[in-house]
Amino acid sequence: MRSEKNWKTDQHEFEKQACAALDNFLESLEGEEFKIDITGANWSDEYGTEAGEGWSFGPEGHTVPGTDRRVRWLHELYTIADPTCTTRVTVPTLWDAQTRRVVNNESSEIIRMFNSEFAAMTGPTPDYCPQHLRAAIDETNAFVLRGINNAVNGCGYSISQEAYDEQVALLFATLDALEERLVRQRYLCGDVQTEADWRLFPSLVRFDAVYYVAYKCNLRRLEDYPNLSNYLRELYQTPGIAAACDIAGMKRGVFSKAGPVGANGIVPVGPIVDHTRPHDRERLAAKAAVANRKNKTAARYFQTGKLELALSIQPLK
Ligand SMILES: N[C@@H](CCC(=O)N[C@@H](CS)C(=O)NCC(=O)O)C(=O)O
């Protein structure tokens, strides 16, 4: 999503989008009020009868919004609109109940859609991607994606010592750099929370609980970084976020057969990390009021803690 926000609530108008699919999707919203529902999905058994089916809505299935069809697998959503579709079926998946098709399954684009094109639905919420910070946000996102979001998986899933050594060095060098940045400023891109903070957050909140043990990211704990851990607590304590983070569930998911470490489903007891204890990030607050008290977008985005979401847009009745 590369467009600028150009939405008028009473007369929906959208700039021409870079992406034709999105363009059509936005045009189809014209004159409609709508809401977004979130449905969770589980990774199906890698073995036995469910092998190769991917994300599952469970044996009871899920009624596809906008239709009366009930499906068991997320891949069935993709082929409803296009029976010849062979794309990768990933979460999150954004489904439009009105046009009955998958609109987007790229989280970085969906998060921007929530921030901009859907802004009129959510009332007054902060702009997490203001134009003047766009370049800094994009640069930070790329840095975090390579050095943190992808590197933790690189550590966990490496199948050679060399590959692991490379990923773990990259991961901790990136954490060191972020720690250094957060000595000077409250958030990754300056004085205000932005999309970049919320794209880092899921990796940080899982770090000690999951990645440190299960993905062998154990050079240092996040708790050993004074600024990063403080910053994590501030993000965690943002209204709406803690309730959306099921850390015990994240551990269960990873230490089950789905994770890189064969743990026979046994979930380790620790570490005990209290993200609710006070942080002191206010000391870096800008003079300007920090307009990030309400965080609907982020809360919605991290609803299941694992980003294992199938989202669907539905017209309001
Ligand atoms: N481009 C996607 C990739 C998401 C992704 O890889 N999701 C994983 C779960 S975390 C998935 O669904 N994997 C299933 C597969 O690759 O078959 C995004 O970032 O939104």
Q: How confident is the model at residue 12 (pLDDT cuts 50, 70, 90)?
A: very low
The percentage of the chain sitting over the pLDDT mark of 90, rounded to a whole number, equals 54
Ligand 1 neighbourhood includes 41 CB (under 6 angstroms)? no
Cα–ligand 1 centroid distance for 43 (angstroms): 11
Q: What is the predicted pLDDT for the residue at 311?
A: 58
Ligand 1 neighbourhood includes 130 CB (under 6 angstroms)? no
Q: How confident is the model at residue 34 (pLDDT cuts 50, 70, 90)?
A: low
Q: How confident is the model at residue 184 (pLDDT cuts 50, 70, 90)?
A: very high
Mutate to test the pocket of ligand 1, among 87, 88, 90 (most ligand atoms within 8 A of CB): 90
CATH architecture of 131-255: Up-down Bundle (1.20)
Q: Which ligand 1 atom is the nearest neighbour of the CA of 307?
A: 10
Task: Work out the average pLDDT over 2-15.
Answer: 27
Cα–ligand 1 centroid distance for 259 (angstroms): 15
Ligand 1 neighbourhood includes 230 CB (under 6 angstroms)? no
Q: How confident is the model at residue 298 (pLDDT cuts 50, 70, 90)?
A: very low
Is pLDDT above 90 for 214? yes
Ligand 1 neighbourhood includes 90 CB (under 6 angstroms)? yes
Task: Work out the average pLDDT over 159-171.
Answer: 96
Q: How confident is the model at residue 9 (pLDDT cuts 50, 70, 90)?
A: very low
Q: What is the predicted pLDDT for the residue at 299?
A: 44
Ligand 1 neighbourhood includes 50 CB (under 6 angstroms)? no
Q: Which ligand 1 atom is the nearest neighbour of the CA of 92?
A: 20
CATH code that applies to domain 4-122: 3.40.30.10
Cα–ligand 1 centroid distance for 108 (angstroms): 11
Q: How confident is the model at residue 201 (pLDDT cuts 50, 70, 90)?
A: very high
Task: Say which residue, 36 or 242, is predicted with more confidence.
Answer: 242
Q: How confident is the model at residue 286 (pLDDT cuts 50, 70, 90)?
A: low
Ligand 1 neighbourhood includes 54 CB (under 6 angstroms)? yes
DSSP for the chain, written as a single string: --PPP---SSS---PPPSSHHHHHHHHHTTT--EEEEEEE-EEPPSSGGGTT--EE--TT-EEPTTSS-EESBTHHHHHHH-TT------SSEEEETTTTEEEE--HHHHHHHHHTTTGGGS-S---SS-GGGHHHHHHHHHHHIIIIIHHHHHHHH--SHHHHHHHHHHHHHHHHHHHHHHHH-SBTTBSS--HHHHHHHHHHHHIIIIIHHHT---SS-GGG-HHHHHHHHHHHTSTTTGGG--HHHHHHHHHSTTSSS--TTPPP------TTS---GGGG--SSPP--S--HHHHHHTTTSS--EEEEEEE--
